[in-house]
Structure 1
Amino acid sequence: MSKHDKSNDLSICKTVLICGLVLYMCTIIFLNNSDRFPSSDLFSTSQTIKSSNVAETNISHLVFGLLGNEKAWYHRKHYVEAWWRPNVTRGHLFLDVPPKGNLLPWSLSSPPYRISDDVSKLLKETKHVDARVLRIVHGIMEVVREAREDVRWVIMGDDDSVFFVDNMVDILAQYDHNKYYYFGGHSEFILSNYWYSFNQGFGGAGIILSYPLAKTFANNVMSCLKRYAHLKSSDRTTMLCVADLGVNLSPLQGIHQIDLRGDISGFLSYHPKSLLASLHHYDMVNPIFPSMNRAQSGFHLQNVAKYDQSRMLQQTICHHRSQSWTFSVSWGYSAHIYEKIMPRSWIQRPIETFQTWQRSPRPPHYMFDTRSPSWNPCEAPHMFFLKSVEKMRSGEIVTTYTRGWPRGIGACLPSGNYSAEYVSEIHVYSSATKRTKIDRCECCDVTHETGSNKADIKYRECKIDEIIA
């Protein structure tokens, strides 16, 4: 190579280096002044724009698909109207046949209705063995078909379920709605999970699909129904259809199938530490409040939920040591007094006031720990149920609980013979601030003068090293 060639090469290198430095300096200046340029500029990205403008999930992003029966709607409408908010909650009730008789004109307090697609036509096309299963699974597609594009979550449920929508919003706001999610709850009856699947969401209580998953499900529902035309379970079919799309169940503790019978007060009074989302089989159990029917009970429960859904049924335990009493409060539902200092680990186990969903010869019966009802005065609680709720000028919420019935089994003598039989009313004071991220239960302090028929309980956050025992 000649000296002339080397000189040319060196000159080119210098030119490239200088151009690179100039471009680098221009880029720095441009980025430092990027706020002067519109978002459609060269260096802006759609992902950045989207992340900065995404609104927090709210009730308008949820759409409900409720599967109903025209004949049953005469009495079930009261359960749904207790939680449905006209012109706020979005979705439809899907009936098997058009409403008639006393159902017309259609109540403005009820969800707007649609008629499910022609099942007989779908049966011929899919050769499915069960018309009911076909209608329920195909219903997911019908809900998606009705939904607007701004929907983030599709919720399927039955018309005998009670939903707690604000809590559902707070739960779902924690997840990316652009991803594939399939949420649901297990059955409380262990054999139901064994017979069907431990990996399925029991749909009556509500299964939740992120909209992208629901849309993909809807696009493939007919092929799936043909593939599983032999199955007689809609929940299992839904699970398998979702699994074929590469998604598995993410269980939520607050979704309750209520595969139980009889008096479920023992279950509701000892709720797990999670936001309450739903209660299914509402007309298969006793009315949940004494002296009220099912419809009245539903409105009573939803009335207190208007004040604070985040604390609904959350169990809070505190002790009144001067009288050796333990208080257990299921916020918005019930309060119990034990005439002995009891550890939380024992108190948090539900009392079996309920029966199994179906006859079961031997345990285990349930998907949770339980304890048997006791006639021992040191173990049997005095039971109180919600009477009223109000918000005070201070901002605190006070819920009042009155005695359900006399316990009538004497006092717990080993504890010092301090009977709680004369207590007839309990007032619980809680903050108006929601507790959506529940990493720990709340603590509380009891105020009660010996001989008084009233007791006050004031909620507070637990201290860092506080032992609730």
Structure 2
Amino acid sequence: TLCKSLAISGLVLFLFYTLLFNQLYNHSITNFSPHFKVIWPASSSNITSPTNINHIVFGIAGTVNGWKYRRAYVEAWWRPNVTRGYLFLERFPSREFLPWPPSSPPFRVNENITRLKSYEKIKNSFQVRVFRTILETFREGDEDVRWYVMADDDTILFVDNLVEVLAKYDHTQYLYIGTNSECVSSNFYASFNMAFGGAGYALSYPLVEALAAKFDKCVEKYQNLYASDLMLYSCLADLGVTLTLEKGFHQIDLHSDISGLLSALPQIPVLSLHHLDVINPIFPSMSRSKSINHLMKAAKLDHSRLLQQTICYDMQRNWSFSISWGYTTHIYESILPRNFVVKPLETFRPWRRSDRQPLYMFNTRGITRNSCEAPHVFFFHSAENSTENKIATTYLRALPRNLPPCSNSGNISADSINTIHVFSPATEHKRMGKTECCDVEKMRDVNVTDIKLRKCTKDEISS
């Protein structure tokens, strides 16, 4: 009888403590701090499957005051219910932004680092806040993450190109992918081996996981550095991780008119454009936000060709054509070699007015009044799917060139041309890193020129 009583009492106590533990556990999970969420491991069930947009989480650093002007940039590339990520702000949004629209990334308020004992001596709190956005994005605990892509709120990202470029890499390794600045001085003062944060950079999940474990010590060590991306570079150097260069990210440490650069980018998928607030609108007749949305019209039809340069020739008229797909077309009234046309026209100026030569990390050519070397410039106007599985993009003349004809072309002027149609394959994307060729069609109108893009034939010489 005694044994039976003890057994019953033990069972009752066991059930009581089991129920009590479950209640406490459920309560703690419900009220779990967002800074200590469960961190799910990177994709493990199907680790060899192709990388897609669901494997990327974006961390965007912003400010409440700046969001009013920069919201349009982010919403131009953000895809509600498709892209994953967060906009990190220094404080809760003011009433003018509420209710928070679904067209914007969900926002988070950065942790107040002044309350943390380990951060008591920090002076450069803004840059530390931006740096810690990596940690706080990681702590959101998203599942099946392969890559974290970090950027500023005055940056546009080209998501489809990002997915394809990141798919080239082994996300299970420690990878730090980005690019440096266009300006020699910016790289000199920071590092030629650093990914500039405004342009955006990608970090593999295992690397962020390793960095998160050492974050506070790293901040304490490098808190006096002047920029968040320099802090990251320094911390990763301590981990033995070096930059993997992807030149499709664009820091745009430039001022004024960058049309010369965007008309002659290298044969690399464009991944980002930064500093949209300090450059002129990329389409001269539009505002900055409308310009970005206009460029995205072309990107939605064919991201693989966006801002990719193609050069071809009209031998009958001795003209050279340079096409930056979805942006500009140039006509030169002479046959110019490719190694000349691929150099960007220096329509822009460097980040610092005090800079001296060499200014840029690439060669440029100056603005000229030479009729044989000054282009007729046409800007992207519209795009549509046409017949025969083609995409037709239309480019309209920006302004009269106001120069006499080039004597080298036999005085054949291009002044009468006001419209250029470019036809490209609709069902076949441009191969990454490959140059395409094009043909100038017979003129059907004295004011219109048609050009067809195509694959280059084996050993084809285009000039």
TM-score exceeds 0.5 = yes
1:302 aligns with 2:319: no
Identity across the alignment (%):
49
CA RMSD of aligned residues (A): 1.6
Deviation for aligned residue 1:290 = 1.8
1:341 aligns with 2:338: no
Counterpart of 2:420 in structure 1: which amino acid?
A: I
Matches of 2:108 and 2:204, distance apart in 1: 22
1:77 aligns with 2:71: yes
The structure 1 residue matched to 2:115, chosen from 110, 121, 125, is 121
Aligned partners of 1:400 and 1:427 also within 8 Å: yes
Aligned position for 1:440: 434
Aligned position for 2:316: 322
Distance 1:66 1:161, change over 3 A: same
Q: Which moved more, 1:342-351 or 1:235-244?
A: 235-244
Distance 1:436 1:228, change over 3 A: farther
Question: Any unmatched runs of 5+ in structure 2?
Answer: 1-42
Counterpart of 2:285 in structure 1: which amino acid?
A: S
CA distances 1:331-375 after superposition (whole Å, capped 9, x unpaired): 010000000011110000000000111113521000110000011
The structure 2 residue matched to 1:398, chosen from 386, 389, 392, is 392
1:250 aligns with 2:244: yes
When the two structures are superposed, what TM-score results if normalisation uses the length of structure 1? Answer: 0.87
1:263 aligns with 2:257: yes
Aligned position for 1:332: 326
Q: After the TM superposition, list the runs of 4 or more consecutive aligned residues in structure 1 that deviate by more than 3 angstroms.
A: 49-54, 433-437
Aligned partners of 2:302 and 2:429 also within 8 Å: no
SS of the residue 1:120 aligns to: helix
SS of the residue 2:72 aligns to: helix
Counterpart of 1:247 in structure 2: which amino acid?
A: V
CA distances 1:298-331 after superposition (whole Å, capped 9, x unpaired): 1101111001111110000000000000000000
Aligned partners of 1:343 and 1:468 also within 8 Å: no
CA distances 1:409-456 after superposition (whole Å, capped 9, x unpaired): 111022211100110011111112454643431000001428610111
1:182 aligns with 2:176: yes
Aligned position for 2:196: 202
When the two structures are superposed, what TM-score results if normalisation uses the length of structure 2? Answer: 0.88
Deviation for aligned residue 1:394 = 2.5
1:276 aligns with 2:270: yes
Deviation for aligned residue 1:126 = 5.6
CA distances 1:374-400 after superposition (whole Å, capped 9, x unpaired): 111100000000000011242211111
Aligned position for 1:62: 56
1:377 aligns with 2:385: no
Matches of 1:135 and 1:439, distance apart in 2: 37
CA distances 1:62-105 after superposition (whole Å, capped 9, x unpaired): 11000001011011000111111001011000011111132111
Aligned position for 1:357: 351
Q: Which moved more, 1:59-68 or 1:408-417?
A: 408-417
Deviation for aligned residue 1:52 = 7.2
Work out which of the two has the higher radius of gyration on C-alpha atoms and give 1 or 2: 1
Counterpart mapping for 1:229-244 below 5 A:
229-244=223-238
Aligned partners of 1:137 and 1:234 also within 8 Å: yes
Aligned partners of 1:126 and 1:229 also within 8 Å: no
Aligned position for 2:280: 286
SS of the residue 2:198 aligns to: helix
Question: Any unmatched runs of 5+ in structure 1?
Answer: 1-48
Deviation for aligned residue 1:50 = 6.9
Distance 1:122 1:282, change over 3 A: farther
Aligned partners of 1:270 and 1:315 also within 8 Å: yes
1:162 aligns with 2:169: no
Aligned partners of 2:443 and 2:450 also within 8 Å: no
Distance 1:274 1:439, change over 3 A: closer
Matches of 2:430 and 2:61, distance apart in 1: 29
Count of residue pairs brought into register by the alignment: 421
